[in-house]
């Protein structure tokens, strides 16, 4: 109990946790240690928006207006494309440094953010079966440090080993999405509702999205510039000689229940932000000792979204979705997908993109082939119950 | 009457400071409250400063200032810090110790109803470190004048407050002297030699506020003449920077106004006993019964408290000669206090403390002098802006910026703690049947743990009590 209290205290105390502040960012990188960055997209990225199939009849039929993008999708191999907001990532694809994985997901079918994120991070087969994180356990098996670019240690990094966190510390601006949810909650409380509505009117949405140079963690709706700066910071940390073997970033606000195709809407903006974060991370890693060449970046979310459009020009919680594997160490320029099809009869429960690639196979392949976690540890403590999962061929030879 | 679980939720939130799990309250919520009635817990903390300690700190400051001024006369001031900054640094240690003691006690006490009463009375008898003369002395006031006396006669509490060094300094009685006292007479002789005396007579501040804010209320039936006469009664009650031994405040006959004084139509002989007599008579005044009954009902039940409840509390006050446990019992047993609707908005301090309790954070949010953002939310701890204390009506706390700040604060707590807790389960265990379907649905649909916790903290059921 007391350890937990201390922990929460550190969380709430307002002190910036900056254990790396004495770290020399300019230090000589040690040999050719591999590096991993994990970007967790919270809220359920719509894989069919990020990686659409513009000429697929079923896609066009199911998505209707949502299939109409503001500018043409960026072509990938086969029927696939990238959302036009992902221009930097498309460049990486062209250079053979981005691998797109589609129709992927977790061994979980219930569509709850909480439980799905618990599995995404714990690496278990059932929610709350495991209480630490797959990456935390893997780093402990390697005897290496991990780092979270936020104040709290996310579940995925929790485990027996050393985890550090770094985040600037000033009160964060609530995201537009959060404010909307609080407003819905105040439907029956006119006093609170009115005060909040006035407060919101006093701060234009553009002001909220403006970059404050030093604002809290890159959680849901954190200002753009800060999220991009955190990605650069992650690259700096990973490039350091005594830096972490893995760093975790997160980006929230993907729960696109309404109006998700708007050119200036939350989903489009979030895709642009992800693209900028990836570019920022790449620039930082390329700038120092060419860390980029020995880095894998994993971009994952807890679930995809329903194939059909809902009643508010958005999509509800679904099952299969998209993930990205990128970096100098990746054999990219490919789409990895055992495409299940989008016809209603091909969907999971008639509604969702079916999962044909277990996301844990992705984790397992990166941990084994890139971070060189021993097979025994992988099948034992790191991703228990996955010995039957085949690893995927993700890396350059 | 509401069901037992609804009652438990009301007991925990309306009368207490929130609990992470309503099950802890048991099957008899009224009994849970009634058995807490008694003096407040000793505040947490080692060697917390007494009023005498605080005064010695003031003395040290003035000595240092004098020395610095002497030195500075000859050379350029090396230390060019503004006065207020130097003053704040000098007292910081005491101020932080007091604040930490107050907040950690509230965050961890097993008797949250008693703690709420202690906080209520500390606000009723406001002293504030906004005033330099009270700096470093606010916590001592809570510990020495309020907390031991919250469950006895109101008269005892009123007397302890009025005679305490912090109150005497905060409301300027320490500067008030009888115009015909020996002390003022002596100073007047010096004036004849060309020296302007520091003190020449009454300061009515404490007398007025005792009548207006502590006992009768502004419309309680006193006149300016009563204020002046009462101020004369109060002369001689001093709290200078050199305590007499460990006595931070004392009666000094040399400062006392001689002669008989008439307050509210009654005559009081000169001397230290007069203060006690006036305070006793104020306590049995019907205006005081009504004023205290109204404030208590407003604090616990509704911004505009139900008249029948105020009537019953006022009658209880009169019938029991201001025996506070009788009032608390009447309040706890009042049907008006158990209406399921949440009428009251939490103050920022209550909001933050109840968050700490719900997250089982123990005292860790408040270590090392931190206020966990209470000040940023608009209620700097132990720094009330006026002797009237912090307001007790929602409209005072519901400015858009205030609500926005609560949202920012809740966002931060969500980001920092939202992955360690299951906000859905916490909402159910802490709010029980009071959790509305609408709030439960928003928390359930949150995109992640941090957002869910933020929504729980911002839910009307958690913002209100």
**Could you tell me if B450 lies within 8 Å of chain A, comparing CB atoms?**
yes
B291 and B198 share one domain? yes
Q: Is residue B15 domain-resident?
A: no
Give yes or no for a contact between A232 and A226, defined as CB atoms under 8 angstroms apart.
Answer: no
Of A156-170, A336-350, B117-131, where does mean pLDDT reach its minimum? A156-170
B128 and B228 share one domain? yes
Give the Cα separation of B449 and A43 in Å (integer).
10
B398, pLDDT greater than 60? yes
Average pLDDT over residues B279-295: 98
Average pLDDT over residues B71-94: 68
B-chain residue closest to A195, CA distance = B400
Q: Is residue B18 domain-resident?
A: no
Residue among A5, A113, A192 whose CB faces B447 most closely: A113
Q: Is residue B7 domain-resident?
A: no
Q: Is residue B10 domain-resident?
A: no
Confidence band (pLDDT; 50, 70, 90) for B194?
low
Per-residue pLDDT tens over the stretch A101-117: 999 999 988 777 778 98
Residue among A13, A152, A173 whose CB faces B367 most closely: A13
**Could you tell me if A220 lies within 8 Å of chain B, comparing CB atoms?**
yes
B113, pLDDT greater than 80? yes
Handedness of CA A337, A340, A342, A348 (dihedral sign): negative
A-chain residue closest to B423, CA distance = A114
A-chain residue closest to B424, CA distance = A114
B189 and B310 share one domain? yes
Average pLDDT over residues A7-17: 38
Which H, E and C letters describe A320-350, residue by residue? CEEEEEECCCECCCEEECCCCCCCHHHCECC
Total domains present in chain B: 2
- Which SS3 state, helix, strand or coil, does residue A162 take? coil
Q: What is the pLDDT of residue A131?
A: 83
Give the Cα separation of B406 and B386 in Å (integer).
23
A-chain residue closest to B445, CA distance = A113
**Could you tell me if B370 lies within 8 Å of chain A, comparing CB atoms?**
yes
CATH numbers and ranges of domains, chain A = 31-173+215-382 (3.40.720.10), 177-211 (no CATH)
**Could you tell me if B403 lies within 8 Å of chain A, comparing CB atoms?**
yes
B394 and B248 share one domain? no
Confidence band (pLDDT; 50, 70, 90) for A209?
very low
Q: Is residue B327 domain-resident?
A: yes
Contacts of residue B82, Cβ cutoff 8 Å, sequence gap at least 6: none
Q: Is residue B13 domain-resident?
A: no
Per-residue pLDDT tens over the stretch B411-460: 999 988 999 899 999 999 999 999 999 999 999 999 999 999 999 999 99
Q: What is the pLDDT of residue A167?
A: 61
B373 and B313 share one domain? no
A7, pLDDT greater than 70? no
B160 and B242 share one domain? yes
Q: What is the pLDDT of residue A275?
A: 98
Which pTM does this prediction carry?
A: 0.66
Q: Which residue has the higher pLDDT, A393 or B69?
A: A393
Write down which residue in B316, B342, B368 finishes a domain: B342
B386 and B316 share one domain? no
User: Which one-letter DSSP state was computed for residue B261?
Assistant: E
B47 and B142 share one domain? yes
Q: What is the pLDDT of residue B364?
A: 81
Q: Minimal Cα–Cα distance from B410 to chain A, Å?
A: 9
**Could you tell me if B417 lies within 8 Å of chain A, comparing CB atoms?**
yes
Interchain CB distance below 8 Å, A173 and B411: yes
Give the Cα separation of A77 and A337 in Å (integer).
11
Confidence band (pLDDT; 50, 70, 90) for A25?
very low
A299, pLDDT greater than 70? yes
Interchain CB distance below 8 Å, B415 and A189: no
Interchain CB distance below 8 Å, A196 and B376: no
B329 and B362 share one domain? no
Domain that holds residue B362: 348-463
Q: Is residue B429 domain-resident?
A: yes
Average pLDDT over residues B364-381: 85
Residue by residue, DSSP assigns A76-105 as -STT-EE-TT-HHHHHHHHTT-EEEEEEEE
Q: Is residue B166 domain-resident?
A: yes
Give the Cα separation of B14 and B340 in Å (integer).
10
Q: What is the pLDDT of residue A19?
A: 34
Give yes or no for a contact between B2 and B22, defined as CB atoms under 8 angstroms apart.
Answer: no
**Could you tell me if B348 lies within 8 Å of chain A, comparing CB atoms?**
no
Q: Parallel, antiparallel, or unpaired for β B250-251 and B237-238? A: antiparallel
B256 and B167 share one domain? yes
B186 and B281 share one domain? yes
Write down which residue in B342, B357, B386 finishes a domain: B342
A250, pLDDT greater than 80? yes
Per-residue pLDDT tens over the stretch A84-102: 999 999 999 999 999 999 9
Of A66-70, A177-181, B434-438, where does mean pLDDT reach its minimum? A66-70
B-chain residue closest to A17, CA distance = B416
Average pLDDT over residues A251-268: 83
State the average pLDDT for chain B.
92
Interchain CB distance below 8 Å, A13 and B458: no
Instruction: Spell out the long-range contacts of B60-67 with Cβ–Cβ below 8 A and sequence spacing 24 or more.
Output: B60/B90, B61/B87, B61/B90, B61/B91, B62/B241, B64/B90
Write down which residue in B276, B309, B342 finishes a domain: B342
Q: What is the pLDDT of residue A213?
A: 34
Confidence band (pLDDT; 50, 70, 90) for B189?
confident
Average pLDDT over residues B131-160: 97
B67 and B100 share one domain? yes
């Amino acid at each position: 109990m007391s350890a937990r209290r201390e922990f929460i205290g550190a969380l709430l105390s307002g002190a910036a946790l900056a254990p790396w502040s004495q770290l020399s960012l300019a230090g000589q990188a040690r040999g050719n240690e591999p590096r991993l960055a994990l970007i967790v997209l919270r809220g359920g990225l719509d894989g069919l928006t990020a990686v659409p199939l513009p000429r697929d009849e079923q896609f066009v039929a199911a998505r209707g207006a949502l299939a109409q993008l503001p500018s043409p999708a960026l072509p990938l191999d086969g029927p696939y494309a990238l959302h036009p907001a992902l221009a930097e990532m498309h460049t990486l694809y062209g250079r053979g440094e981005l691998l797109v994985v589609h129709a992927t997901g977790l061994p979980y079918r219930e569509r709850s953010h909480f439980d799905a994120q618990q599995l995404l991070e714990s690496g278990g087969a059932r929610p709350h079966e495991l209480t630490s994180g797959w990456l935390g356990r893997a780093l402990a098996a390697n005897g290496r440090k991990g780092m979270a670019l936020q104040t709290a240690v996310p579940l995925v990094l929790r485990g027996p080993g050393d985890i550090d966190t770094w985040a600037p510390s000033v009160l964060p601006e609530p995201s537009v999405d959060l404010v909307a949810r609080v407003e819905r909650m105040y439907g029956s409380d006119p006093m609170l509702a009115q005060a909040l509505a006035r407060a919101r009117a006093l701060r234009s949405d553009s002001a909220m999205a403006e970059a404050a140079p030093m604002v809290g963690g890159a959680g849901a709706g954190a200002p753009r510039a800060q999220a991009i700066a955190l990605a650069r910071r992650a690259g700096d940390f990973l490039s350091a000689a005594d830096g972490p073997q893995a760093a975790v970033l997160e980006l929230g606000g993907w729960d696109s229940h309404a109006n998700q195709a708007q050119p200036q809407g939350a989903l489009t903006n979030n895709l642009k932000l992800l693209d900028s974060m990836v570019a920022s991370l790449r620039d930082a890693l390329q700038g120092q000792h060419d860390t980029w060449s020995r880095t894998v970046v994993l971009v994952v979310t807890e679930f995809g979204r329903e194939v059909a459009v809902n009643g508010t020009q958005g999509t509800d919680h679904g099952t299969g979705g998209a993930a990205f594997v990128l970096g100098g160490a990746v054999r990219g320029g490919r789409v990895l997908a055992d495409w299940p099809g989008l016809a209603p009869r091909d969907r999971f429960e008639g509604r969702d993109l079916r999962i044909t690639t277990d996301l844990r196979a992705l984790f397992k392949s990166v941990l084994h082939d890139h971070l060189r976690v021993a097979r025994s540890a992988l099948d034992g403590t790191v991703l228990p119950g996955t010995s039957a999962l085949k690893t995927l061929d993700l890396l350059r030879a | 009457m509401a069901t037992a679980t609804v009652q438990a939720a009301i007991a925990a939130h309306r009368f207490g400071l929130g609990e992470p799990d309503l099950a802890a309250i048991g099957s008899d919520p009224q009994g849970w409250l009634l058995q807490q009635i008694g003096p407040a817990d000793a505040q947490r903390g080692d060697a917390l400063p007494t009023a005498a300690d605080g005064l010695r700190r003031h003395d040290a400051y003035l000595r240092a200032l004098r020395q610095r001024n002497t030195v500075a006369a000859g050379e350029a001031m090396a230390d060019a810090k503004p006065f207020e900054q130097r003053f704040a640094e000098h007292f910081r240690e005491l101020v932080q110790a007091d604040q930490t003691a107050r907040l950690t006690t509230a965050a961890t006490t097993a008797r949250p109803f008693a703690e709420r009463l202690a906080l209520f009375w500390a606000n009723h008898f406001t002293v504030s470190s906004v005033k330099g003369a009270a700096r470093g002395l606010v916590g001592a006031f809570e510990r020495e004048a309020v907390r031991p006396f919250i469950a006895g006669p109101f008269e005892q509490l009123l007397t302890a407050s009025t005679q305490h060094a912090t109150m005497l300094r905060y409301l300027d009685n320490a500067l008030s002297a009888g115009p015909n006292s020996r002390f003022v007479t002596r100073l007047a002789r010096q004036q004849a030699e060309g020296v302007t005396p520091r003190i020449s007579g009454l300061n009515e501040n404490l007398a007025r506020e005792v009548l207006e804010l502590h006992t009768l209320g502004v419309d309680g039936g006193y006149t300016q003449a009563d204020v002046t006469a009462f101020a004369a009664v109060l002369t001689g009650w001093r709290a200078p920077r050199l305590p007499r031994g460990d006595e931070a405040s004392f009666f000094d006959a040399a400062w006392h106004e001689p002669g008989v004084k008439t307050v509210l139509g009654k005559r009081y002989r000169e001397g230290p006993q007069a203060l006690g007599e006036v305070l006793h008579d104020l306590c049995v005044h019907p205006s005081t019964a009504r004023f205290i009954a109204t404030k208590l009902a407003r604090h616990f039940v509704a911004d505009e408290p139900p008249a029948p409840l105020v009537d019953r509390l006022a009658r209880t006050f009169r019938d029991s000669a201001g025996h506070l446990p009788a009032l608390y019992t009447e309040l706890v047993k009042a049907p008006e206090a158990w209406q399921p609707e949440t009428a009251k908005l939490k103050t920022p301090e209550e909001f933050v403390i109840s968050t700490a309790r719900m997250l089982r954070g123990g005292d860790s949010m408040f270590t090392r002098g931190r206020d966990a953002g209470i000040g940023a939310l608009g209620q700097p701890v132990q720094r009330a802006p006026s002797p009237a204390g912090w307001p007790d009506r929602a409209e005072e706390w519901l400015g858009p910026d205030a609500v926005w700040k609560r949202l920012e604060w809740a966002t931060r707590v969500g980001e920092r703690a939202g992955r360690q807790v299951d906000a859905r389960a916490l909402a159910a265990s802490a709010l029980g049947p009071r959790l509305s379907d609408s709030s439960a649905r928003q928390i359930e649909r949150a995109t992640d743990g941090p957002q869910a916790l933020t929504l729980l903290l911002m839910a009307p059921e958690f913002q209100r009590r």
